Amino acid sequence: MYQNNKINRAKIPDVKVKNVYGASEMNGVNFITNDDLLTKIESIGVAMPGVTFRIADLEDSSKLITEPDTQGELQVKEHYPYALYFNDPKKTAEGLTSDGFYITGDLAKIDEDYNLYICGRIKDVVKYCGFSVSPAEIEEVLMESPLVVDCAVVAKPDPKSVEIPVAFVVLSEQAKSLSTEKVSRQILDFVANCVAEHKRARGVYVIDKIPRNGNGKVLKRDLKELL
């Protein structure tokens, strides 16, 4: 059997790939990337026409964040009516602010051009010594380490700090030649050199595989049961 590896580029469609963001409660897409934002591929773009958004401080929701690269909770409002939860008026009320913004539960930030970035889920945020630490930020650093091929960061209860961020990691072939103690120390030092002191990982657990559901989402509840 022979395969023709020559590509007829004339037959390749002119496809544009975009990042979008939305929720069923908000009637579809609320943010979308522009065609000229190829250098900001991690962004979900700018707000669609008719969509208003804001980022609330994690410790004081009445305080709004306006500085670029500062994380907070994303709240969204649009002209269309907010979708109600069926037969659950309490949950519907809990999903809205007093002035009608939908509380997404997503950790987000903006850049200087008001492009939006999703940084994780609020429920996954680690409360460490009065700081709100995003697991996604630590995970991003961990994936830069040559010792790690997959990872997930979760909150571990701690009597002094309330919670501490700990990392579950799947080791690379390079790391498997090292002792568990040595590789854990090297991973912790790698993160410490890349983030602020309060954002450091405080422990490492080596596992064979990060548990995920059928959509690829990390099952962090399963990981917390291993602590």
The CATH number assigned to the domain holding 66 equals 2.30.38.10
| Residue 144 and residue 110 share a domain | no
pLDDT tens digits along 174-201: 999 999 999 999 999 999 999 999 999 9
pLDDT at 187: 98
Q: Is 154 helix (H, G, I), strand (E, B) or coil?
A: strand
What's the pLDDT band for 17 if we cut at 50, 70, 90? Answer: confident
Any domain includes 219 = yes
pLDDT at 6: 47
Strand order in the sheet with 20-23: 20-23, 28-32, 46-47
Joined tokens for residue 101: 């913004």
**Span 206-210, mean pLDDT?**
97
What's the pLDDT band for 3 if we cut at 50, 70, 90? Answer: very low
| Residue 146 and residue 77 share a domain | no
- Taking 50 as the threshold, does the pLDDT of residue 66 lie above it? yes
Q: What's the alpha-carbon Rg for the chain, to the nearest Å?
A: 21
| Residue 43 and residue 24 share a domain | yes
pLDDT at 211: 97
- Taking 60 as the threshold, does the pLDDT of residue 123 lie above it? yes
Task: List the domain range (segments joined by +) for residue 220.
Answer: 125-224
pLDDT at 86: 84
Q: What is the mean pLDDT of the chain?
A: 89
- Taking 80 as the threshold, does the pLDDT of residue 15 lie above it? no
| Residue 152 and residue 93 share a domain | no
pLDDT at 226: 95
Q: Which helix (H) or strand (E) holds 168?
A: strand 162-171
Q: What percent of the chain has pLDDT over 90?
A: 63
**What residues pair up with 126 in beta bridges, in sequence order?**
133
pLDDT tens digits along 124-142: 999 999 999 999 999 999 9
Report how many domains make up the chain.
2
